[in-house]
Amino acid sequence: MTEKIILASASPFRKAILIDAGIAVETVPAELDERTLEAPLKNSGASPEDVALVLAEAKAVNVSTRKPGALVLGCDQTLSLGDEIFHKPADMEGARRHLLALSGKTHQLNSAAVLARDGKVLWRHVGIANLTMRKLDPAFIGRHLARVGERALQSVGAYQIEGEGIQLFEKIEGDYFTIVGLPLLPLLVELRRCGAIDG
């Protein structure tokens, strides 16, 4: 007996990961303004990991209060370079600036997952991965973005390691699923523990 999980997101990537793992899932996007929620955290000294966790929790709780009895998964990912948090680029110029800033440096991806039911948080986790981008020539960045197009705007780092974005890196430390935005293995452990999936 498996329980259908509600994903508090419209992310096709996270939904596909869950479906591929054999989890019955329905998507119900959270109704909240992430940047408004994040604003007070910037001045409070919250770490990028904390920011991801707060946003994931807000999504899970928001949807779980609208779906009584359902097990709801909220997720969020932040990309941090030192203390600076990056968001999805708004346009191709933003994507170019992201890649220039990350070029030759190691950044951190913080992927948070939170399970909630009836407005109550049941479990939370943050997976962390460290990615070292090779030194990129500005002209190469332009050619790369021309090839990948609008896909560069779908992720916080302006790249997808599951595609041509892998060419931007010289070293990656961390779990693949954490990098693509869902710490799947710890989530599966918890879903088995609470009896939501067979195990």
CA 74 to chain centre: 10
Using a pLDDT cut of 70, give the percent of the chain over it.
99
CA 143 to chain centre: 26
Please give the pLDDT value at position 1.
Answer: 53
Q: Which of 20, 50, 76, 137 is catalytic?
A: 76
Whether the per-residue pLDDT at 166 is higher than 60: the answer is yes
- What residue has token string 């909630």? 116
Q: Residue 56 — pLDDT band, cuts 50, 70, 90? A: very high
Taking the C-alpha atoms of residue 43 and residue 171, their distance in angstroms, rounded to an integer, is: 32
Q: Which of 115, 42, 114 is nearest to 80 (CA)?
A: 42
Domains (range + CATH), the chain: 5-193 (3.90.950.10)
Give mean pLDDT, residues 70-99: 94
Active site residue 76: yes
- pTM as predicted: 0.91
Q: Residue 23 — pLDDT band, cuts 50, 70, 90? A: very high
Largest CA distance in the chain: 54
Q: Residue 153 — pLDDT band, cuts 50, 70, 90? A: very high
- Give just the sign of the alpha carbon dihedral 41, 43, 47, 48: positive
Taking the C-alpha atoms of residue 162 and residue 171, their distance in angstroms, rounded to an integer, is: 15
Whether the per-residue pLDDT at 3 is higher than 90: the answer is no
Give mean pLDDT, residues 68-82: 95
Q: Residue 37 — pLDDT band, cuts 50, 70, 90? A: confident
